[in-house]
Chains A and B, each alone.
Chain A
């Protein structure tokens, strides 16, 4: 006898617990809510926090998109999509506009998200003060007392040593003027997309057993000193080698054989979409 798989893999009790933690996280923007992270059919550190959020949120009317560092077709993204589809039967998509639920590893899509969507981010290290203070009991107290010298100090040290802040990704942000939060290792380029986002953003850390959230229209400020303003990655003068997009996050590709540096869209579905539309235009022009 083969048992029917549970809808969205997790049992209802677990989903309820995760939803309860999620509600608390939404109620206190930026605050890390502890939760009992479940065993998932993949290793911790591979997005189990995000996956548990997705499983607790997904309903029969949802359309799921999964991104792995900008790509929809990478192994991790495909495996997660397969699991959800096998246990729920809901459709999956690669188009940001079609999705109601988007689980992402380390990127926010280029297409602006709407109030009808939820973005779930996978978080390896939810504690922004961890490098400064190793003990959880102390970082909890620092958050309670709104004592964020540590987060600022790490940026100051970078400026002293390298002349500028060197956070490539995971640049700490202040949420709603209260909690300093690790935005998960999204590039600095994506930090501004969090500010007053129309979509609800949920962040899940499975290994560290924390859930936190940025509710829609919440103020997100990237930490920056007065004389060292925050800057995202700069791609001015560069464009995607396929679709020609500018003002998006680009991957740099260097070829040793030709000694040429090329750039292409990091968000693969955005790039494919643009190419498709350009193709349609060409076809239309050709038929006229």
Chain B
């Protein structure tokens, strides 16, 4: 009998990120004294408390929640933009097996970012260098991952720009001359340039007009199908989550309050907040 046991590619357990020292009031199990995610007696903010999640190979995991619910903090912790207070992160990769990646040295975190991760920020200014050409922006990630051959990096960059439908005659132009949608697509090309097994997408379609949104979503879907990359998609837009995510977590006040198949959550929400969220969809 064949065993179908899938192992998660990325596993997060009990991630907590707090701003402030914490006190007796808010350190009790379950943190009963909090006002939303804020402790009135010591002023500590619990941006993420006790978040656990799994991402399986080739899967898109959606994270929804209102502003301030901890989605972006979670993302930044996973991408090592911020240090966590406690928790473990493991990635199923022969090079990284068995290590809690939140505890490794900053050099090693840099290595993981450069070799295993791709990130697409909501604001392209964070992910791109606006005064370097688009092709160099894509090459930056390849250089970081050890690329030292101009010809190879250029042809790989051209191929990626083609994938994201940026005309090649504009590849030597700086992204600051591009429209928002084009900048976002350059950013996606950059994130993909080191063939990462894991891609983070933070509110990638927010602020884009509807037709461009659709194009970007199409692109992400196509990339997932063709390359089998695992993705974590953060959005407050349920329509985006419905189109992209296989499974979804709902966050509120720094906690995961509901998780499951995306259809299930959208059709049959359990938690009062999720119900409100789904029914307030215009």
Contacts and interface: CB of A to CB of B under 8 A. Distances in A.
A202 B234 CA distance: 51
Chain A: interface size category: 10 to 19
Contacts of A225: 148-150
Contacts of B129: 132, 153
A227 B106 contact: no
B148 A157 contact: no
A160 B149 contact: no
Interface in B127-179: 129, 132-133, 135-136, 139-140, 143-144, 148-151, 153-154, 172
Interface residues of B, number: 20
B221 to A, nearest CB: 30
Interface of A is mostly: helix
A46 to B, nearest CB: 30
Given A157-B133, A160-B133, A161-B172, A144 B106 contact: yes
B107 interface: yes
Nearest to B134: A160
B151 A147 contact: no
**A-B complex: 5 closest residue pairs judged by Cβ atoms:** A149-B144, A157-B136, A226-B149, A149-B143, A152-B143
Given A145-B106, A226-B148, A226-B149, A160 B135 contact: yes
B126 to A, nearest CB: 14
A156 B144 contact: no
Contacts of A157: 132-133, 136
A16 interface: no
B125 to A, nearest CB: 14
A227 B147 CA distance: 11
A165 B54 CA distance: 45
A146 interface: yes
B238 to A, nearest CB: 37
18 contacts: A141-B106, A144-B106, A145-B106, A147-B110, A149-B143, A153-B132, A153-B136, A153-B139, A153-B140, A153-B143, A156-B136, A156-B140, A156-B143, A160-B135, A160-B154, A160-B172, A225-B149, A227-B151
A145 to B, nearest CB: 5
Interface of A: 132, 141, 144-147, 149, 152-153, 156-157, 159-161, 225-228
A153 B145 CA distance: 12
Contacts of B143: 149, 152-153, 156
Interface string B257-270: 00000000000000
Nearest to A150: B140
A227 B106 CA distance: 31
B148 A146 contact: no
Contacts of B135: 160
Nearest to B150: A225
Given A149-B143, A156-B143, A160-B172, A227 B150 contact: yes
A161 to B, nearest CB: 7
Contacts of A153: 129, 132, 136, 139-140, 143
Interface string B227-243: 00000000000000000
B150 A159 contact: yes
A156 B150 CA distance: 7
A115 B50 CA distance: 62
Contacts of A159: 150
Contacts of A144: 106-107
B110 A145 contact: yes
Interface string B212-224: 0000000000000
A127 B99 CA distance: 35
A167 to B, nearest CB: 15
A146 B149 CA distance: 19
Nearest to A132: B129
A157 B110 CA distance: 23
Contacts of B140: 149, 153, 156
A144 B132 CA distance: 24
